[in-house]
Chain A
Amino acid sequence: MIQLLRTLGHLTVDGVWQVGFATRFLFAMLRHSGPSFARFSLTIRELYFSGVLSLVIIVVSGAFVGMVLGLQGYDTLQRFGSESALGSIVALSLLRELGPVVAALLFASRAGSAVTAEIGLMKATEQLTAMDMMAVNPIARVVAPRFWGGVLSMPLLAAIFSTVGVIGGWFIGVVVIGVDNGTFWSQMANSVDFREDVVNGVVKSFVFGWAVSLIAVFQGYDCTPTAEGVSRAITKTVVYSSLMVLALDFILTSFMYIGK
């Protein structure tokens, strides 16, 4: 019993420490973000590694999610004779929830883990210390560009995910099942609101981009500099960012759509 309480206390104190460190780290990073934009080629390189290299998984997953939505949506709607609403269902599900959330989860496991591994290994092999010794701040030179690369990639990836998903839903609904093409698009356009759905989706993915990127760079920078420490940090990145994305999604959804 005492042991249990002690473990609980230990976990709580540890958690608070971590959050405190992460916050200080975020401010230090923002303070040292100048070079990420002044020397934009640093960030471009990270846009390549976080964004371009995540494209394949985003496009493929988006297509499949859209096609499944097409099938399931049609199956459910035709019971009520409302197949015409298929376009709305597909587009709203993707824009509001699935696009931002699934893209962020994929991004965390594809790009976030890679960023953690890279920074963690640089730390373990003293590359960060070496840089510091050359009077080059590793937060400005290594960490901040990776953070901004992630933050900028995320909304674009989510938009690509949603678009590919809508096309996937259209392919199943219109091409394969034979819902009327005009009805599909016009119903969609009628029920999707630009501000309410498109802009809110982009806002969500932007917030997720911050969360996932911050967790990824922080775990890398904060890891124990050993092979085991790096692998533990990678696991933490994936687990923490997934939980964070889902929790933030709940909070954002309740602010954006409910109680208005």
Chain B
Amino acid sequence: MTTEKKKLAPRDQGAPDYKKNLHPLMVKNYGKWKYYDKIKPGVLKHVAESGDALYTVRAGSPRTLSVDKVRAICDIADKYCQGHLRFTSRANVEFLLAREQDIEPLIKEVRERLGFPIGGTGHSVTNIVHTQGWMHCNLPGTDAVGAVKALMDELYEEFTNERMPARVKISASCCSINCGGQADIAINLQHHHPPTINHGNMQICELPKVVAICPVAAIRPAKVEAKDSLEVVEEKCMYCGACHGQCPSMEIRDPNTDTLSIWVGGKSANTRSGPSFMKLAAWGLPNNPPRWPEVGAAVKKLLTVYKGSAKQYERIGEWIERIGWARFFELTGFEFTKYHIDTFKHARTTFNTSAQVR
């Protein structure tokens, strides 16, 4: 290590000034927007009290971008958007335009130069939020990055059209920590046995911290070949992988046995029924790179049934609440099994405690 003392840049500067980054029409009409109109899927018109109109063209991106791709995005924004754009929480790029006549030329360039589709607004299937997978995470059992690309290929027409009963948000995660979050449809990976402990390497982590992280107290200190290590009470362990996140020597992944599960009905918005958690729909799907066709087929099946059966403005969870879970499993063809019945903390609150049966 060189010890030459260089002067450090200033620390603790905080967040960049968003005001410098706002489109001029946003600065001018800040907090004074009146309504919006949908022009077509992916294109919105926001009208301010001043009478100003700001057009938004939303394009789906793969989130992982080379600097040259980002520069190409900037070139287009310089040409049509007075040098301003924004990103959504689901990795869509929003091009902001002051002039209506620029919309079509911009769309043409976005399609040709970036290869990005236009859509993701209203009642469409919008871009999938996902985790790092084999590209950069230390814990993944699968690659959400690639799985999402393959799945969006399947759902392309649903991104560019608004023909779902309500908006559909999908997330994908590479382990049961589920960083992808609650969504109408979520795909994540599940492990099927307790961690395998690499005792030889166990001294690098703070063992009490590893013991403390287990949600079901399945880990306890043990001496292995006269060295401090840990052991797992296998009957207690529920294969969550929390310990693996804390200590790399608690290997929970297994390329031969890990599988994918599909969850449905998560929602953040307070609209109508309020926010809700997603529930298990299907399990045991193979972790099948490079294109995970079984996941694509299951999600498409689910969306087809939803589209045919839900009422307008019913998100997936609300639709299932209305028709009941029995009908959901019947319509989708997903098999209902004993594993769908909760066994964790608040299991009893999920049972049907009435004679209301359908």
Question: Real complex partners, A and B?
Answer: no
Interface residues of B (CB under 8 A from A): none
Interface residues of A (CB under 8 A from B): none
